[in-house]
């Protein structure tokens, strides 16, 4: 039995529960926490674990509770609202922080808290799930292949559907638009504005640029100034997505966001364990230096996104439980090395070549 103290906040969400169950299977006894005692207690009783209902608004109580905790795995979305209060509480309590967000604004907020985390001697490592371990590790490996690279393009082709939390994050982006990094700065672009053909690992596919977290994190990991991220999409669906640009003003209104997220609560459910075991993800990347005529392609195959999130979160947690280094903000690859993705169950090795 491991005696290190872990808190899983948001443990009764779909992914939080998966992480809690796997942590118990590995011999850990995490403290399950969240805002809703009624949702929390049944899982805690089933797993025989301690539980604590606590609001992120109860700052003093939260910080006091965290002082005995070594690592927090934060699973409670929407992270745009919940991540910063938890990160600040961890800094004040001296507790390492990690989460499973894919939201760029959370990564940017964590990066801005780097100096405070260093002073407190704690690690802030958001994005320790499928968002963004596979792509972040591939980006770091590609950068090692061409250290002078000026452009990085990433993408993934997944059989996995969306979890309720990821679906809600996607809804938030509808009213904002897409995003890329150009000359070191994040730029908002129209939905469906950038398209190209990509062989993610199982043949050429039409692909569309999306506002994925690596637009922020890959820059912190590699320093590459120009970054785009793509997923496969049918040309017909891409045209529909592009037409949504006319309604971005409407899609970002609070009542519309709440209505769309309510539909997610009623209709989106995470897949069964059997379904997850049948799914894989093909991760692809391209790095280049046009001035020198250099270009490399990288690929890695992983398990489905949910299982990567579970195993990735626990791999980073275990790394932090034995961590003796400096505090600060880290991406997964900066903290654990780009080999992290290769160590996860269901992952292959990163392969880099000219195509």
Q: Would you list the DSSP string of 18-81?
A: HHHHHHHHTT--PEEEES-HHHHHHHHHHHT--EEE--TT-HHHHHHHHTT-SEEEE--S-HHH
Of 279, 328, 285, 329, the C-alpha closest to 305 is 279
Q: Looking at residue 158, what is its pLDDT?
A: 85
Q: Looking at residue 161, what is its pLDDT?
A: 63
pLDDT of the chain along its 355 residues, tens only? 455 699 999 999 889 999 999 999 999 999 999 999 999 999 999 999 999 999 999 999 999 999 999 999 999 988 989 999 999 999 999 999 999 998 899 999 999 999 999 999 999 999 999 988 999 999 999 999 999 999 999 999 987 666 666 677 777 777 778 899 999 999 999 988 999 999 999 999 999 999 899 999 999 999 999 999 999 999 998 888 888 888 877 878 888 888 888 887 777 666 666 666 667 899 999 999 999 999 999 999 999 889 999 999 999 999 999 999 999 999 999 999 999 999 999 999 999 997 6
DSSP annotation of 333 reads: H
Domains and CATH numbers, the chain: 6-130+306-335 (3.40.50.720), 133-304 (3.30.360.10)
H or E segment and range at residue 198: strand 195-199
Of 129, 316, 308, 286, the C-alpha closest to 222 is 286
């Amino acid at each position: 039995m491991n005696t290190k103290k872990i808190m899983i906040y948001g443990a009764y969400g779909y992914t939080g529960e998966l992480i809690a169950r796997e942590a118990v299977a590995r011999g850990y006894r995490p403290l399950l926490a969240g805002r809703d005692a009624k949702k929390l207690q049944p899982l805690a009783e089933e797993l025989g674990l301690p539980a604590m209902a606590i609001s992120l608004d109860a700052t003093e109580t939260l910080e006091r509770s965290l002082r005995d905790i070594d690592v927090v795995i934060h699973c409670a979305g929407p992270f745009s609202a919940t991540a910063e209060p938890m990160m600040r509480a961890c800094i004040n309590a001296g507790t390492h922080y990690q989460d499973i967000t894919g939201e760029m604004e959370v990564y940017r907020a964590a990066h801005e808290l780097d100096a405070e985390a260093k002073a407190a001697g704690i690690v802030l490592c958001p994005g320790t799930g499928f968002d963004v371990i596979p792509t972040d590790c591939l980006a770091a490996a590609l950068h090692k292949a061409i250290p002078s690279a000026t452009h990085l393009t990433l993408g993934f082709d997944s059989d996995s559907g969306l979890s309720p939390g990821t679906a809600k994050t996607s809804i938030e982006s509808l009213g904002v638009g897409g995003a890329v990094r150009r000359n070191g700065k994040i730029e908002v672009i129209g939905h469906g504005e950038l398209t190209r053909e990509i062989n993610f690992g199982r043949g050429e596919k039409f692909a569309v640029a999306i506002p994925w977290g690596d637009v922020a994190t890959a820059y912190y990991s590699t320093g590459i100034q120009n970054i785009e991220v793509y997923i496969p999409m049918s040309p017909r669906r891409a045209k529909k997505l592009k037409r949504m640009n006319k309604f971005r003003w409407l899609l970002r209104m609070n009542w519309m966001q709440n209505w769309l997220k309510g539909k997610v609560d009623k209709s989106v459910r995470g897949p069964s364990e059997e379904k997850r075991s049948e799914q894989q993800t093909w991760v692809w990347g391209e790095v280049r230096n046009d001035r020198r005529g250099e270009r490399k392609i990288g690929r890695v195959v992983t398990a489905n996104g949910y299982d990567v999130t579970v195993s990735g979160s626990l791999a980073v947690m275990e790394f932090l439980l034995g961590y003796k280094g400096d505090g600060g903000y880290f991406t997964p690859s900066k903290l654990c090395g780009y080999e992290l993705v290769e160590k996860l169950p269901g992952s292959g090795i990163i392969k880099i070549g000219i195509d």
